[in-house]
Structure 1
């Protein structure tokens, strides 16, 4: 069970004066149960890469495999891919169109022929800190943060195997942002595969996620969190990564440990 990306290249407005390479020869494997952070400047290719994972974009060159099935294959149904790969987009609440929260949550499971019972709905409502009685309310009468939470539940409701968050906390206040981050952490601890495009790196320090850093549509780094955080400051800043005090302290701690180990080896 994994998402595999092989030699993926994608170009917008190909063969026109507005041609722009969004992804350039990307190679990556995301295994079941892992947590990944996709980081880099706006426009570096993060959202384009995410959109190839559930067939919103089909690779022009290279392949994307979802559980060994290529999204380019004419033998698969894109709907089956989208059932496996759920994406919470930036401002997902703008896609609401049904009169009640309950109907919004149940729409995707019905579309994908997935059964969900009251107990599961109650669990997701509790997970996102929303009262169960909200189900009969209109989603359009909620606060911005509450609407975002409902949008997340509407994706969780059809039980995708891979859950992607594309800048999920854009426009949210501090309290709601923390609630969303805590939900993501809990989902990963439950064994869910999580892919997160974000600028908020320090929130996930305790989970030590894998990191993909993109720059100018190319892989600037792929590896462990500790390897990522100890990259040269200039490399990080050149890709739009600014370490806060918490991350910088952790970085210095890791580097100090490595130096101590190196010195011990030299003294043997």
Structure 2
């Protein structure tokens, strides 16, 4: 089972003076258990792509199929698609509108007709290292990192198979970032498929994800992380990708065929 994008194109303001092409003929298959990075400059089409995957936008050309369900097929209940795919947005507060953390967590399951027990709620709180007494707190009074964690629970709580993280580490301190990485690893171990839209590939190098690099709505690269890292540096730079010192060393080791050294560098 998978998510498939077949020749997908999308233009904002179609047939108006403000027309702007966001994506052009994108082909992508995301299989169960994969972890993908969607990377590129601001305005490269990353947000449009994840909105198309989730059915928030419908392709104007081509097709998006989630486990065989076409998002633009009117016979498909789009709610069935969205139950399978959860999005954790970059700004967690944009997802909140209820007065307590518990109500925010329960909103998704209630919407999909899922009953969540107190033990299940505690399980998700433990998964992101939040105490049980946070359930009665106002989500808007939490720190940025805590809000991000509540946003993640609000998605995990209805148990989607595919989880999209939009810039999951932006604005977080070191410890909170590490807890997010640990959570992503745990979700992988649970069989979840992870899609991360980000500028910061350096932070995800030890996951060895597959990578889709977008530039001005076009696919510049699609494939394995090690092949992506070894692309021409000027091409990467022009697409908004800058390799930090660790990845420069990793790339150098790969090019010299020193895979064992590359693995050690990756795990630093």
Of the two, which has the highest radius of gyration? 1
Deviation at 1:220? Answer: 0.2
Structure 1 Cα separation of the partners of residues 237 and 169 of structure 2? 22
Q: Where do residues 160-199 of structure 1 align in structure 2 (5 Å cutoff)?
A: 160-199=160-199
Larger deviation, residues 88-97 vs 211-220: 88-97
Q: Where do residues 71-90 of structure 1 align in structure 2 (5 Å cutoff)?
A: 71-90=71-90
Structure 2 Cα separation of the partners of residues 97 and 58 of structure 1? 25
1:117 aligns with 2:117: yes
Q: Where do residues 128-143 of structure 1 align in structure 2 (5 Å cutoff)?
A: 128-143=128-143
**Secondary structure of 2:206 counterpart:** helix
Aligned length: 259
Larger deviation, residues 181-190 vs 159-168: 181-190
1:206 aligns with 2:224: no
Distance 1:169 1:206, change over 3 A: closer
Larger deviation, residues 174-183 vs 25-34: 174-183
Deviation at 1:15? Answer: 1.2
1:101-124 deviation line (CA, Å, top 9, x unaligned): 111101110001123222222121
**Secondary structure of 1:257 counterpart:** coil
Larger deviation, residues 159-168 vs 135-144: 135-144
1:206-260 deviation line (CA, Å, top 9, x unaligned): 221100000110000000011101111111111110000111111111110089x
Structure 1 Cα separation of the partners of residues 189 and 127 of structure 2? 13
User: Which segments of 5 or more consecutive residues in structure 1 lack a partner in the other structure?
Assistant: 260-268
Aligned to 1:262: none
User: Which segments of 5 or more consecutive residues in structure 2 lack a partner in the other structure?
Assistant: 260-268
Aligned to 2:262: none
Aligned to 1:263: none
Aligned to 1:11: 11
Larger deviation, residues 183-192 vs 82-91: 183-192
Q: TM-score, normalised by structure 1?
A: 0.93
CA contact (8 A) 2:22 2:48 kept: yes
Structure 1 Cα separation of the partners of residues 206 and 178 of structure 2? 14
Q: Where do residues 43-122 of structure 1 align in structure 2 (5 Å cutoff)?
A: 43-122=43-122
**Secondary structure of 2:103 counterpart:** helix
1:250 aligns with 2:250: yes
Structure 2 Cα separation of the partners of residues 240 and 83 of structure 1? 33
Structure 1 Cα separation of the partners of residues 151 and 45 of structure 2? 24
Deviation at 1:138? Answer: 1.7
Deviation at 1:172? Answer: 2.2
1:36-90 deviation line (CA, Å, top 9, x unaligned): 0000000000100000011110000000000011101011111111111101112
Deviation at 1:201? Answer: 1.4
Q: CA RMSD for the aligned pairs?
A: 1.4
Structure 2 Cα separation of the partners of residues 141 and 21 of structure 1? 39
Deviation at 1:136? Answer: 1.7
Aligned to 2:263: none
